[in-house]
Amino acid sequence: MNAAPDSLRTDGAAIDGTWRTGAGAMLPVVNPVTGAEILSFPAAGIAQVDEAVASARRALPDWRSTTPAERGACLRRIAEQVRDARGQLEALQRLCNGKPAAEARTDVDDVIATFAYYADLCERGAGLAPQAVALPDASAGAQLQYVPLGVAALVVPWNFPMVTTAWKLAPALAAGCTVVLKPSELTPLAEIALIDIVLRSGLPPGVVNLVCGAGAIGAALVGHPDVAKISFTGSNATGQRILQASGSRLQRVSLELGGKSSLIVLDDADLDAAVALAVGGAFYNAGQMCSATSRTLVARPLYEAFVERLVVAAQALRHGDPADPAVDLGPLISAAQRDGVLARIERGLADGARLRCGGRALDGAGGFAVQPTVFTDATHADALWREEIFGPVACVQPFDQDADAVALVNDSDFGLVASVASTDRERAQRVAAQLEVGTAWVNLPQLVFPQTAWGGFKRSGLGRELGPWGLQAFQELRHVISAR
């Protein structure tokens, strides 16, 4: 379980279509299941960031002049080659993230679906082909044109490597942008493997470049004067710094940031189905999701029975070797992440919240796993209730009226997602329509489709990914008005 695949590439940079040995500090990669180092390799150096951006800038004129159909053919090949390599990519997700087998499989499916979706948009010319614009003056004609923004810096997190890369890379390429990708220093191996597939798909040299490294490499990339577009997924603190720094250069920025999301269980909900939604929403990917529904609001008549069943379900989740299909729960990504989650649990206890189960590190494995944890009786002012934890921690509170639940959901600095459970579909839809979030699910787990937008309100970020809106994030609009 500690060994990296023999065929794994460990180059710190890919520039102008060629893999390069990194010129920076050594980058260790650790298995979060065991805590053991898998391997280490040199990260990219600052000068290599400049080289990567220069490579992308040189490649831009030819790439943006390709037809949408030509770009779509490249994206289609990437989707097919990811499908062919899915065994290796799933193994890397298990190795580097500790993702259980089912979660690793879902991630690769998502990557394939995203590249295939944007290939389809390109092949149809949707949101890419020029469009005639009707004018009230017969002496003039107008055309709307979609123009790629230019060189895009893509900075992706560790919790969903490859997935967040696909969400950014596929629409950027479809739009005609060239890119430099900076993966998380905690999970670079999955991104290296994916970019190796991308580079072998027939893209011209320089269209896609990669630089591995920690925060200094990311800062050099997003601060580069030749970067026209920044697409970042990660913490609010880093997102705010990117936004402030980009303001002086008027760079285009998309930010997918934090969340503190809620599940509402109405008084007519199917109790077992609602518990299943709560388990998936709070504990999938060990709770390391910006969309984690870590706040569960339950109608008072169902509250005690719901809590009892949730505790039983949480305690039944199985931790272990992620290659074992019986394993449900993976570890946290690092010792620092584990310790941070445990500190938040201790703070919740100090604030008076009631611990119903979990609350400790899983002993004996040597890695970074934390028990699935359920709290009740946290006040609405407590950090446990209001702040993102990014671990397997759920808080449950009762409510009396539907309007009370809506008010509690909306009383948040974040607004990424929410879920509603009810056997009355129309009632659930009415509740969902009042929630200040970017995505609301009704009686469904957190299914994300390439056709639907992803992004949030408030401090959950700026802009949208996926769907045609993800494509528009890498485009400018131009109107050409001509005499007839």
pLDDT in tens, 279-335: 999 999 999 999 999 999 999 999 999 999 999 999 999 998 898 999 999 999 999
**Is the CB of residue 429 less than 8 Å from the CB of residue 402?**
no
Here the contacts of 69-72 (C-beta below 8 Å, separation 24 or greater) are 69/122, 69/123, 69/125, 71/122, 71/173, 71/174, 71/176, 72/118, 72/119, 72/120, 72/121, 72/122, 72/123, 72/174
Beta bridge partner(s), residue 297? 264, 397
Residue with tokens 């934390």: 370
Catalytic residue among 290, 388, 395, 465: 290
Q: Say whether 262-449 and 13-257+461-483 share the same fold.
A: no
pLDDT digits (tens, 9 = 90+) for 435-453: 999 999 999 999 999 999 9
Closest by CA to 340, choosing from 362, 317, 361, 314, is: 361
pLDDT confidence band for 222 (50 / 70 / 90): very high
Taking the C-alpha atoms of residue 235 and residue 278, their distance in angstroms, rounded to an integer, is 24
Cα 277 vs. chain centroid, distance in angstroms?
20
Those residues whose C-beta lies under 8 Å from the C-beta of residue 390, and which sit 6 or more positions away, are 159, 287, 288, 289, 292, 337, 340, 341
Cα 395 vs. chain centroid, distance in angstroms?
23
pLDDT digits (tens, 9 = 90+) for 340-391: 999 999 999 999 999 999 999 987 667 999 999 999 999 999 999 999 999 9
pLDDT, residue 1, reads 44
Q: CA dist 160 to 25, 77, 183, 281, Å?
A: 24, 22, 11, 15
Top-level CATH class of 262-449?
alpha beta
Residue with tokens 């609010």: 236
Stretch 38-44: mean pLDDT: 97
Taking the C-alpha atoms of residue 378 and residue 107, their distance in angstroms, rounded to an integer, is 33
Beta bridge partner(s), residue 254? 231
Q: State pTM to two decimals.
A: 0.96
Taking the C-alpha atoms of residue 214 and residue 43, their distance in angstroms, rounded to an integer, is 8
For residue 6, pLDDT beyond 70: no
Closest by CA to 75, choosing from 145, 167, 173, 7, is: 173
Q: Is 239 exposed, middle or buried (0-12, 13-18, 19+ CB in 10 A)?
A: buried
**Is the CB of residue 38 less than 8 Å from the CB of residue 10?**
no
- Are β-strands 208-211 and 229-233 bridged in parallel, bridged antiparallel, or unpaired? unpaired
Phi, psi of 45 (to 5 degrees): -95, 165
Is 290 a residue of the active site? yes
Is 395 a residue of the active site? no
Residue 43 per-residue DSSP state = P
Residue with tokens 């065991």: 34
User: Vertex 463, ends 459 and 466: CA angle to 5°?
Assistant: 120
CATH fold label, 13-257+461-483:
Aldehyde Dehydrogenase; Chain A, domain 1 (3.40.605)
Q: Give the Cβ contact number of residue 376 at 10 Å.
A: 20
Cα 36 vs. chain centroid, distance in angstroms?
26
Taking the C-alpha atoms of residue 187 and residue 191, their distance in angstroms, rounded to an integer, is 7
pLDDT confidence band for 5 (50 / 70 / 90): low
For residue 34, pLDDT beyond 80: yes
Q: Per residue in 50-71, is it b (16+ CB within 10 Å) or e — as a string?
A: bbbbbbbbebbeebbebebeeb
**Is the CB of residue 297 less than 8 Å from the CB of residue 264?**
yes
Mutual angle of helices 163-175 and 68-84, in 10-degree steps: 160
Stretch 131-147: mean pLDDT: 96
pLDDT, residue 117, reads 98
What would the two tokens of residue 301 be?
Answer: 């008549």
* H or E segment and range at residue 314: helix 300-316
Q: Per residue in 189-204, is it b (16+ CB within 10 Å) or e — as a string?
A: bbbbbbbbbbbebebe
Catalytic residue among 90, 256, 388, 465: 256
Taking the C-alpha atoms of residue 53 and residue 51, their distance in angstroms, rounded to an integer, is 6
Minimum mean pLDDT among 3-17, 76-90, 178-192: which range? 3-17
Break the chain into its structural domains and give their ranges: 13-257+461-483, 262-449
